[in-house]
Structure 1
Amino acid sequence: MTDEPHAQTDASTLEPPGRGRDPRKRELRTDGGTASPGNDDLLEAYRQRKEEPAEDGETAETRKRRELRRSKNGESIVVDFVANFVAGGDATFEPVKGRVLMSERRLILATSRSKTVVPITAIFDIAVGQVPPEVEEFFDYTVMVGYIVGNRRRTTVIGGDRETIEKFSLLLFRATLNGSTTLVKHPAKVGGRVMDTPKRKTGLHLDYESVVFPGNDVFSEGDDPFEIDLASVIFFEVIERTVDDEKRLVLSVQHFENSQTVTSEISMGSRRKMNILGRYLRLIYHWIKSDVRDVELEEETLEVLVGLYSTGSDVDLASLLELEAAELEHHLGELFDDNLVTDVELPCELTPQGRLVVNEEIEGVNV
């Protein structure tokens, strides 16, 4: 599988210990630089939310789930956790412990002495799980965020336990890409046959299991919303095409749809966003693939999985596969233990990992 050659993050902007100015003397910056703490309205909203007394009978967890207080300019806190990080700009290699906050507009890394503010629109790369050599002695699992201030590339590295970093990364991808206007050709190919499908403008929304193109307010015939199941992806690549008389990057995704191979083509005017979307597809596919790397299924168990994929809930699967009820129950239990189905009993659905296994089986049959 190939992906777009991603823009290189610039680790050279992270100065080694002993170099650079004292971080306690920074001035407030809202462009991705390091700053001393000021009366930032988003941070102030966070402080007020933390200090707010709980309502009668309300637990801390319940209070946390309440609608987040908005700052003066309408931002709301969608991420809030404590982590070790190396902030971009003039920061040193040595990590500091602080709070990671994110709104729909900004990522803020705040300590008691300084803060770094990264506009979401300035982010050009998100690399998950790749620990830069400059900080590998400090972190086990990281997300590296590349962003631009003026004409200068900077890098911020945030480390923590794997689950926390992965959840935060998904939210960061969504903040960066959700709502983007895309130009889509679907299907561009069915099997090896090139389709005369017109391109259309649509939105874009990231889910864990799929990339959704919800369409727009006015649909012409055939312009229904559609989604790409990331467990069904066979291959994707980024190519350069002329779109509306200008050179654009086009993401070509080959995937299974209704048991046949379909190719969809997606483009956005922003190369920055195209790079991040390519990163997202590769990341999620890698996560799903790694979960089934060591799974080995007996032939009858695989037949049950394919049967679940191919039939509806109203079909008697045991009779279809000529299995006794106890045999079917046994195979469902094995599939559930391998995280390939959602339940040990019918009705149940395939997980993304289960769909990937079936798609690979179908692909092998079609070769």
Structure 2
Amino acid sequence: MSFFNRSNTTSTLGTSTAMANEKDLANDIVINSPAEDSISDIAFSPQQDLMFSVSSWDGKVRIWDVQNGVPQGRAQHESSSPVLCTRWSNDGTKVASGGCDNALKLYDVASGQSQQIGMHSAPIKVLRFVQCGPSNTECIVTGSWDKTIKYWDMRQPQPVSTVMMPERVYSMDSRQSLLVVATAERHIAIINLANPTTIFKATTSPLKWQTRCVACYNEADGYAIGSVEGRCSIRYIDDSMQKKSGFSFKCHRQTNPNRAPGSNGQSLVYPVNSIAFHPLYGTFVTAGGDGTFNFWDKNQRHRLKGYPTLQASIPVCNFNRNGSVFAYALSYDWHQGHMGNRPDYPNVIRLHATSDEEVKEKKKR
């Protein structure tokens, strides 16, 4: 088993004995052509194990349901521009989405009605349903390229409040009372949702390159961030905890097939596109532009299981409500710009039934 260097600096990942092969994915449920363009987000219903929404650059949000192993399209609603994010309300009755038309939209699953409930002055990159203030009122928080986050009541078209960010919002996640916002220029804003209009702590990513994704721990005491340069960092809110347990590591890199034998040539480096924490065990998964995903144990600092490349980038992944299903998209992630988006590029969603071997924390030896 490969272990991380036990330091607070970046460590190099060796070869893990817990590598899977493609046979381990043979029973995955495959949804071919779930969208007409690149998939931007996947979100599971908090109330049902196998119902999820998918947003896409084709301007649509689709709701899928898996019955007896067969995926079925349940509903869809359309936007005039690419949709970049989707999430479910806590009661599972509504699906929110945002994207390049700058609008926040709310879809009622029972009635099939969609309405616009908010606007930014630039595209909405990410959103979350959160519970705010002393009364734990449910609202939607949106993060935009207009350098703001906004909180929405869902019953009125004006935001409850607007908070300026240091730069364009690229990623955001929340857990319990913790909200973490990652922006351009590697800024990180940490917010306590008990006081949602104030930045509790402003910091900078320890990773040298642009932040691609952020995900909060189940315990709400920290977060993981991934960069465009194949690195992940484990961070804690408390400075003493960070000093004790924080670290960074390399991942989503491949040996360059063109380097000379025996040389120490450069590896091929890919972005870490998506990070998700298992809802029960607190382990996590990273997915990247190299077409692989890996399950990790941050507390023991090792990889639980890694998978071979599927020959297409993975732009987004997520667990369902109890972690029994892991969904991942094979779709173009734009890390090579417009030139990398070939007409024959795969556009697929796969659902993988997780095993404890993959996602459960191993006991210390």
TM range (shorter): under 0.3
> What TM-score, normalized to structure 2?
0.27
> What TM-score, normalized to structure 1?
0.27
Q: Which has the higher contact order (CA 8 A, sep 6+)?
A: 2
**Structure 1 or 2: larger strand share?**
2
Larger gyration radius, structure 1 or structure 2: 1
**Structure 1 or 2: larger helix share?**
1
